[in-house]
């Protein structure tokens, strides 16, 4: 079973709705025993970074430990940003530090927030994109982005006046700046691929 981490931030329900729609069992929980037993973890997030990190509280250490031990983890939007070292959104806040890099503001030369459907170039060797064409539109809604510094991370980019990371993968740690649960059929396929990765890990 997948566990969608429930930590009292914005619309976490839509992630569960999406998994249910593709026939995958995903439960909303904040209980350490559920998180420990999960085949994979999803860290959603619609909130400011600092608020999200403090709302996650002691679960942060547990999630980090499990992800480093190889339990598949998918961070979405602010949940993705929290995978990095730190963020500059409303002050300095430490993230989980699973992927090297900092979360910084989108340059003010662009319209902020970056909100809408943008084209992501999908590298061939990323298993979250299995079965998808080489480039697809995904739905974004954010004002900060992750400046990825991790040499071990694979990155998929979108163009917003500069190449902006849209997805990272480091081992079985995944993160999407876009919202797969709100990116129509293509987004549902990404979630389905994640659930298959989790199944493969457990069998």
Partner 1 sequence: MLTKRIIPCLDVKDNRVVKGVHFANLRDAGDPVELGARYSDEGADELVFLDITATIRSRKTIVELVEKVAENVFIPFTVGGGIQTVDQIDQLLRSGAEKVSVNTAAVQNPHLLAEAARRFGNQCIVLAIDARRSKTQPLRWQVTVKAGSEPTDLDAVEWAVKAEKLGAGEILLTSMDADGTKTGYDNELNKAVSDAVNIPVIASGGAGELEHLYDAIVEGGADAVLMASITHFENYTITQMKQYLASRGVPVNL
- List residues with catalytic annotation: 77, 179, 181
Asked if 202 touches partner 1 (CB under 8 A), the answer is no
- Report how far residue 52's alpha carbon sits from residue 57's, in angstroms, rounded to the nearest whole number: 9
Asked if 188 touches partner 1 (CB under 8 A), the answer is yes
User: What mask of x and - would describe binding to partner 1 in positions 158 to 177, judged by CB under 8 A?
Assistant: -xx-----------------
Asked if 113 touches partner 1 (CB under 8 A), the answer is yes
Out of 36, 116, 162, 200, the only residue in the binding site for partner 1 (CB under 8 A) is 116
Residues 6+ apart with CB under 8 A from 42: 2, 3, 4, 5, 15, 19, 26, 73, 74, 75, 76, 79, 194
- Report how far residue 119's alpha carbon sits from residue 117's, in angstroms, rounded to the nearest whole number: 7
The rounded radius of gyration (Å) of the Cα atoms in the chain is: 15
CA atoms 110, 115, 121, 125: torsion sign: positive
- Report how far residue 166's alpha carbon sits from residue 143's, in angstroms, rounded to the nearest whole number: 13
Asked if 89 touches partner 1 (CB under 8 A), the answer is no
- Least CB distance to partner 1 at residue 105 (A): 14
Asked if 18 touches partner 1 (CB under 8 A), the answer is yes
Q: Which residues bind partner 1 (CB under 8 A)?
A: 10-11, 13-14, 17-18, 20-21, 48, 111, 113-119, 137, 139, 141-143, 159-160, 179, 181-185, 187-188
């Amino acid at each position: 079973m997948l566990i969608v981490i429930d930590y009292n931030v914005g619309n976490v329900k839509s992630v569960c709705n999406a998994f249910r729609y593709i026939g995958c069992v995903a439960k909303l929980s904040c209980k350490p025993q559920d998180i420990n037993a999960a085949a994979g973890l999803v860290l959603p997030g619609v909130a400011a970074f600092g608020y999200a990190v403090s709302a996650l509280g002691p679960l942060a250490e547990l999630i980090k430990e499990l992800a480093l031990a190889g339990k598949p983890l998918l961070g979405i939007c602010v949940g993705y940003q929290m995978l990095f070292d730190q963020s500059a959104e409303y002050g300095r806040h430490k993230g989980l530090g699973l992927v090297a890099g900092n979360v910084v503001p989108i340059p003010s030369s662009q319209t902020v927030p970056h909100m809408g459907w943008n084209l992501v170039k999908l590298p061939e060797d990323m298993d979250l994109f299995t079965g998808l064409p080489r480039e697809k539109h995904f739905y974004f809604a954010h004002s900060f982005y992750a400046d990825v510094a991790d040499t071990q991370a694979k990155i998929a980019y979108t163009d917003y006046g500069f190449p902006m990371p849209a997805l990272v993968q480091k081992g079985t740690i995944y993160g999407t700046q876009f919202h797969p649960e709100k990116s129509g059929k293509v987004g549902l396929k990404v979630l389905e691929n994640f659930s298959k990765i989790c199944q493969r890990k457990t069998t």
